[in-house]
Structure 1
């Protein structure tokens, strides 16, 4: 009986040793990341269906070879995803990256439907902000058998992230889209950490000069960005894009004034400081006036985190060593 027990124990130990040796000798699985495998995985992601801003389910059967972008922010996303070759046409206002300016043009708010249809795109990326003037044209494109995906008009960073991921899914660039979003989030967190403990400043952002000064008030993307920067929009009690009277600006006395119309005014700084009564405004007295790149701070795409950093540096130069 004792011999049988020893024999059983010996056999059990042998099994365990063999198993251990097998584990030690087994090479770890190496994921195939060759171009052919990546392409195969991308193909496997299709067909894909995504619901757009107007509630339409858009189904793409395979990675698109021909794309038309109807908004500069869409174009920036597409190029960031590595789809510059696939983008066949853009609007008259697309200027980034430089290659976008070389693409065929389809117009602006009034776009050329016939031109778009003639290009036979696999998908057209339209935009919710242009629905009031563009919906009839979008429908004509749909009626021609072309998929139209209406991108949401983002009012915050989270919606921008979703937009990038949606466009990535529809074009077979899911991994690239996730990386872009991850990089943006990391940069935003880094910027916010730097301004987390500062004394908040009041800010006025002007998007047009005299005689009609327009500014983003509460419930706007810019208002959201200012909050993210631990700053206070001096007209946050108002809503949307509002025309602001110069006397009201003096009354509210912002610590910082930011303009975004440098491309249309020769000297944005003088445009602000030469106004009657503005010599008493804190922003003017302390020279806290800066003109920002409107495209960088307004376009809801991959460069938006850079735009946020630009805003933060303009408001809190002492924090960023500017």
Structure 2
């Protein structure tokens, strides 16, 4: 009798556990099917009837964010410029993922309609993207407009919006907490340093013009969080400056970004051959860095990887506080210079 009681008790426990597991699955599925209403970057009220499983992203930064949510496999369309993570380019090359044209121009709205996605993510500042909304909505395609992120606050806003759109609000909260924790880890290392090197980030430099990242830009926040000073913080977000302006700014460190230039070698050659620049602290101490590929993207793309750029910038500014300097030329291998604990 006692043995029979134990058997019945065991069966009861198993049934409870199985029931709990089944209920968890049912609850999870029910949550995916519950309509969610959000307010997007244009102030539009958008209702997502159920968790989307086919997504088009018309922005490299937003494609990165979709992958950060673990929804990369649901992407059916991206731009020609979407190249991170590497799975994006691999799927495009294999024919498993469609490209829908450019970012600022040349977007193929008809192709997007043919893909019939559950949701399309657009960027608010790109007029050609915004102009597609009526046509997409006429085709009964849900559109969510996201912020163009000029700072980390807007990145977090985008995470929250995308979390609602994907029915992954818990994941959104986790991504924001992780981002904040990484920023805090950097701050705790640099906050007590008396050294605040002046950094000049260049997006264009040839014999006729010089363009730099000024105050209020995405890069400006990266430099500040890295425990340094933007040498052109008094300028507009993206400003053309003179050679004399550069001398007056007196940068301790110069970072040449390849995004606009394509090849930083020309800029480096012009800089080093200019006698007027010979006395700059950055030139005298050879503190000139070239970033290209994914290293360039983390600084210039205004994406969720902003915190990676901040860490790399902090290592450039304060190598003594971290694990030494990074190479003077940094490309797709930038992740090798991040903390091992940051690997996702």
Give the TM-score category using the shorter length.
Answer: 0.7 to 0.9
Please list the CA deviations of residues 245-284 of structure 1 after superposition, one character each: whole Å capped at 9, or x if unmatched.
2221012211111111178225364443223311111111
Q: CA deviation at 1:35?
A: 8.7
**In structure 1, which of residues 178, 199, 207 is the aligned counterpart of residue 173 of structure 2?**
178
Q: Is the 8 A contact 2:187 2:225 kept in 1?
A: yes
Cross-structure match for 1:95: 83
Structure-2 change in CA distance of 1:48 and 1:289 (3 Å): same
Q: What is the distance in 2 between the residues matched to 1:60 and 1:274?
A: 57
1:291 paired to 2:290: yes
CA RMSD of aligned residues (A): 2.3
**In structure 2, which of residues 101, 108, 113 is the aligned counterpart of residue 107 of structure 1?**
101
TM-score normalized by the length of structure 1: 0.84
Cross-structure match for 1:118: 114
Q: Is the 8 A contact 1:213 1:245 kept in 2?
A: yes
Moved over 4 A (4+): 32-36
Q: Is the 8 A contact 2:31 2:167 kept in 1?
A: no
Please list the CA deviations of residues 222-260 of structure 1 after superposition, one character each: whole Å capped at 9, or x if unmatched.
112222222211111122211122221012211111111
TM-score normalized by the length of structure 2: 0.79
Please list the CA deviations of residues 150-208 of structure 1 after superposition, one character each: whole Å capped at 9, or x if unmatched.
10112221221121122112112222222222211111110111111222111111112
Write out aligned runs for 1:123-134 (5 A): 123-130=119-126, 132-134=127-129
Q: Residue 304 of structure 2 aligns to a residue in which SS?
A: coil
Write out aligned runs for 1:7-22 (5 A): none
Q: Residue 205 of structure 2 aligns to a residue in which SS?
A: coil
Write out aligned runs for 1:1-322 (5 A): 37=24, 40-41=27-28, 43-44=30-31, 46-101=34-89, 102=92, 103-108=97-102, 109=104, 110-130=106-126, 132-198=127-193, 199-210=195-206, 211-261=208-258, 264-265=262-263, 267=265, 269-292=268-291, 293-320=295-322, 321-322=324-325
Q: Is the 8 A contact 1:269 1:290 kept in 2?
A: no
Q: Residue 129 of structure 1 aligns to a residue in which SS?
A: coil
Matched pairs, number: 293
Please list the CA deviations of residues 32-65 of structure 1 after superposition, one character each: whole Å capped at 9, or x if unmatched.
9959725733632621111111111111010001
Structure 2 alignment gaps of length 5 or more: 1-15, 326-344
Structure 1 alignment gaps of length 5 or more: 1-28
Q: What is the distance in 2 between the residues matched to 1:93 and 1:283?
A: 32
Q: Is the 8 A contact 2:163 2:172 kept in 1?
A: yes
Larger Rg: 1
Higher alpha-carbon deviation: 106-115 or 152-161: 152-161
